[in-house]
Amino acid sequence: MSIILSTLNARYTHASLGLRYLFANLGDLQEQARILEFVIGVNTSEIVERLLERRPRIIGFGVYIWNVAETTRVVAMLRRLAPEITIVLGGPEVSYESEEQAIFAQADYVITGWGETSLPPLCRQILSGDPSARPAAKIQAGIQAPLDSLALPYAFYTDRDIARRTLYVEASRGCPFKCEFCLSALDKTAWPFDLDLFLGEMQALHARGARRFKFVDRTFNLSIPSSLRILRFLLDKLMANPDDPVFAHFEMVPDHLPQPLRDIIVRFPAGALQFEIGVQSWNPDVQALVSRRQDNDKAADNIRWLRENTNVHLHVDLIAGLPGEDMASFARGFDRLQALGPQEIQLGVLKRLRGAPIVRHTAGFDMVFDPNPPYSVLATDRIDFHDMQRLKRFARYWDLVANSGRFAATLPVLLGDTPFDNFMAWSDWLYSTAGATSGISLDRLARLVTQWLQSRGIARETADALLAGDYAGQAPHRRPSRQIGLAQPSRQAKHRAKS
């Protein structure tokens, strides 16, 4: 085996779309190549052992914010054991500020940006055996080829991938918006793939048994005609065989939901669609600072309409620690979003993605970032380190209690009339009591919820009755019926079962 394409995924259920694009575009080198995927948390020596078993001449690694630390250890060990192997790095984490990173020193080449058309000639030069044919420059700028020149990767999802993993797909690349916390701010626009060709690939995947798709398009509802065609494709599959459900996840901007899109969305049954909607901040001054264009009133109306009129599972994002946003502003934004009733609110703390323009605000807002991945903001001039830590714990506990869907009956009582303040009080108490943000069993969490409610003046019998209606308060824990829909992820199923 001459070439191995590898990465460390965040979870086993994630299948790397990037590696499959690279493999699809290797041309005649495919016969000498293989994809080997791993999961973060696996012992470094075990990963290296499996890579060396294939006796490769080239190993290409996809490097991301979630795997750069572990990939650095893998590459360092490979360097010691097999220095003759050529190491090629690519991916967003090494495409910017490349030379500042420890992994850069261990690699032979780094391809920045798009790699599909840049990797094959580099591999041919390396495999030629002629040292003079190899590029002298360590950093190779990736060529952004026209999308219609790229071979699509979907045939390289294996039957095992289809049976056990979420399949990542894309109908477009890039983003026309310039939100400074995102690497997509560097894109000039969004580029669509040929939709007939893409839907043909979707049809082939569906025919092979694929039922769970995650679209990585940055803005699915940018082109409404394209959105409608994709949704009609999915709806046709559902209507043709209601007992064979399909699930699709899309990322959407919140303030663009025209009537034709509404008309088709309302036709989807429960368990079929999830929208990840990036609100990020409701504060107009903060939005302006980070170059985010958003009509807040339209966004709120659209989220409310989706929640009240459709079966879509809503996963809505807020970011804490943006420049210019203090704790009070973030709290108001959280309460406004919570009042709209999305099934999940994803609370993220700002990260300094390498290359993202957000760095221009560092000095002006005294922003301090963790030097280690994922480079989360530690403090700003508006939120000090202590309060930022409280917000991180708030986000973790919100995921355990609210987003998990396990405390649906108890949550409204826990939140009361001032959701942010009440949940922050609970979060502070929980951390002081449990001393941890992870490793808390469901049984213990349920007992702690009961204890907290009692401390707030709620009778033990009332608290027990609330918990009895929640999954976490039962023994044995009740699981959602598999009849809910095999294609739907378990968390969404829990929310459905309690709605």
Neighbours of 415 (CB within 10 A): 18
3-state helix, strand, coil in the chain (%, to 5): 45, 15, 35
Residues 468 and 474: their CA atoms lie apart, in Å, by 6
Q: Are 97 and 355 in contact (CB under 8 A)?
A: yes
Q: Which CATH code is given to the segment(s) 157-383? A: 3.80.30.20
* Lowest-confidence region among 193-202, 420-429, 456-465: 456-465
Angle formed by the axes of helices 419-434 and 327-340, nearest 10°: 110
What is the pLDDT at residue 473? 46
What is the pLDDT at residue 498? 60
Cα three-residue angle 230-231-237, rounded to 5 degrees: 95
User: Is residue 75's pLDDT more than 60?
Assistant: yes
Q: Which long-range contacts (CB under 8 A, 24 or more apart) does 472-478 make?
A: 472/406, 472/407, 472/442, 472/443, 472/445, 472/446, 473/410, 473/446, 475/443, 477/442
What is the pLDDT at residue 479? 39
User: Is residue 20's pLDDT more than 90?
Assistant: yes
Neighbours of 304 (CB within 10 A): 14
User: Is residue 478's pLDDT more than 60?
Assistant: no
Q: Which of 324, 277, 376, 450 is nearest to 66 (CA)?
A: 376
| For residues 460-474, average pLDDT | 79
192 token code pair: 């669509």
Residues 285 and 296: their CA atoms lie apart, in Å, by 12
User: Is residue 471's pLDDT more than 80?
Assistant: no
Q: What is the CA radius of gyration of the chain?
A: 24
What is the pLDDT at residue 220? 93
Q: Are 485 and 271 in contact (CB under 8 A)?
A: yes
Neighbours of 119 (CB within 10 A): 27
Q: Do domains 3-144 and 157-383 have the same CATH topology?
A: no
What is the pLDDT at residue 497? 62
Q: Which CATH code is given to the segment(s) 3-144? A: 3.40.50.280
Which residues does residue 377 pair with via DSSP β-bridges, in sequence order?
369
164 token code pair: 């056990």
What is the pLDDT at residue 470? 85
Q: Which of 7, 15, 114, 12 is nearest to 71 (CA)?
A: 7
Q: Is 124 exposed, middle or buried (0-12, 13-18, 19+ CB in 10 A)?
A: middle
CB-based burial, 163-191: b 16+ in 10 Å, e otherwise: eebbbbbbbbbbbebebbbbbbbebeebe
User: Is residue 33's pLDDT more than 60?
Assistant: yes
Which phi and psi (to 5°) does residue 402 adopt?
A: -90, -55
DSSP 366-423: T-EE-SSTT-BEEE-SSS-HHHHHHHHHHHHHHIIIIITSTTTTTHHHHHTT-HHHHH
103 token code pair: 């992994």
DSSP 328-344: HHHHHHHHHHHHH--SE
What is the pLDDT at residue 189? 87
Q: Which of 214, 215, 216, 208 is nearest to 163 (CA)?
A: 208
Residues 86 and 135: their CA atoms lie apart, in Å, by 12
How do the domains of the chain map onto residue ranges?
3-144, 157-383, 403-499
| For residues 429-443, average pLDDT | 94
275 token code pair: 């929208």
- Average pLDDT, rounded, for the chain: 94
User: Is residue 486's pLDDT more than 60?
Assistant: no
User: Is residue 188's pLDDT more than 80?
Assistant: yes
pTM for the predicted model, two decimal places? 0.92
Residues 407 and 128: their CA atoms lie apart, in Å, by 61
User: Is residue 272's pLDDT more than 80?
Assistant: yes
What is the pLDDT at residue 490? 65
Q: Which of 339, 281, 282, 345 is nearest to 313 (CA)?
A: 345
Q: What is the tens place of the pLDDT at every residue in 2-18? A: 999 999 999 999 999 99
Residues 151 and 360: their CA atoms lie apart, in Å, by 37
Q: What is the tens place of the pLDDT at every residue in 141-178? A: 999 999 999 999 999 999 999 999 999 999 999 999 99
Q: What is the tens place of the pLDDT at every residue in 388-414? A: 999 999 999 999 999 999 999 999 999
- Coil, strand or helix at 69: helix
